[in-house]
Amino acid sequence: MEERDYHQLVKLQGAFFDEHITREIPFRLCALDRLAEGLVSREKELTEALRADLGKSPFESYATEIGFLLHEIRTVKNHLQDWTRDRRCHTPLFLFGSKSRIHYEPYGCVLIISPWNYPLQLALSPLVGAIAAGNCAIVKPSGEAPHTARALKELIDECFEEEYIAVTDARRETTETLLQERFDYIFYTGGVEYGRHVMQAAARYLTPVTLELGGKSPCIVDDDAHLPTAACRIVWGKFLNCGQTCVAPDYLLVHSRIASQFIDLMRQEIVRQYGEDPQHNPDYPRIVNARHFERLATLLSHGTPLCGATCDPADRYIAPTLLTDIDPRSPLLTDEIFGPILPVIPFDDIDDCIEHINRHEKPLALYYFTRSRKRARYMIQHTSSGGACINDTVMQTANGHLPFGGIGNSGMGAYHGRTSFETFSHRRGIVTSAQRLYSNFRIAPYGEKLKWLKRLMK
């Protein structure tokens, strides 16, 4: 589609939305069915596209993308009738004779800008929420995962007419073109700097936004943690998708009393999960492209390797890597890594960890390993993050009953499950007053009514 056509596409979707078809619950459920059927029928093509872009195994592709989406669709379908019902609200005494409720209505035409690291899940999971809420949508995929972008467009074109749901081409310039249009809602997943740009573009029309960004997500292992469990779950969460996960542990703080033992366990766990040579393990993914590979490869020299630190540019392969002795000014400790490199930093006092976390921008995720409920509660109460796990990593994103989103620099707004439906819905407050049973108390002339008003409103 040529650039000049996107203005017409937005108008086309606006006209379709105004027909009120998308507001009908059976229509929404049917659309979700079509999307689920498309995912199932195209599972092979989608898996191959994810393998071509990111080197993902079929298991990882299904667990984190296709299966994740099918589960999300089932959850939404099972609860949609209940979620869309008007919610009755308390009506105060001074509104005697009236009833109050919240009515959920769709925004209209929404724009979903998706990233490359989970190019299917992060394009379609917001779309599930947009469909459930009754919106039309335009999805802009990332050009850095071109095979998945093509497969995504084929999937959506097969399932929907473009006046309802459309996928654009994957060029970066297309994002700029789309941001010039007037949408009713914008949902962006990606980097912090471009997130600011999206928000500035949205401000032109006062368009509401959800920004799912990222940041330096800390992982802390205290001296009372169950170390084998911590090592297993941190290795999995960090090297999932070759570290290209917005909620991956970005740096590891380990109590100095158990640091040496824990590093040995981490090394053993990397071998257990990916073998002596991860490059030839079909379960270990690849860096998305040469540009990101080169950025990560330069970081390998910023510390002392504890394991890994090897790479192959021809294969876009970087080994699972642990580094220590890192300069505090290094990009490893100032920028989001977004790759299979984990800085390891020893600590002596948990309050030093908390001070370090609170001195920097609020992260998207926080992970803390301890056997003590008291310590876990202390950590949660004295830090802030988009989400958190105690004694695990990444799994806060897997529970569709929890909101997923950032805070501060890591984003604004949330989605997944019911939260997705509410994100893409306007909550419209409605008061219905009786036509006959009605008090003229609030109507002029007021006379001596003030003293009674004060009593009523106490």
Please identify every residue annotated as catalytic: 212, 246
Q: How big is the CA angle at 322 (ends 273 and 248), to the nearest 5 degrees?
A: 70
Amino acid at 279: Q
The H-assigned helical ranges of 256-343 are: 259-274, 290-299, 331-334
Residues 6+ apart with CB under 8 A from 229: 369, 391
Of all helices (H) and strands (E), which one includes residue 112? strand 109-113
**CA trace torsion 112, 114, 118, 119 (10° rounding):** 90
CB contact set of 134 (below 8 Å; sequence gap of 6+):
22, 23, 28, 105, 106, 425
Written as six digits, the tokens of 351 are 């309050």
User: Which amino acid is residue 353, in one-letter code?
Assistant: C
The whole-angstrom separation of Cα 113 and Cα 151 is 16
Contact 253, 347 (CB under 8 A): yes
| Alpha carbon of residue 11 to chain centroid | 28
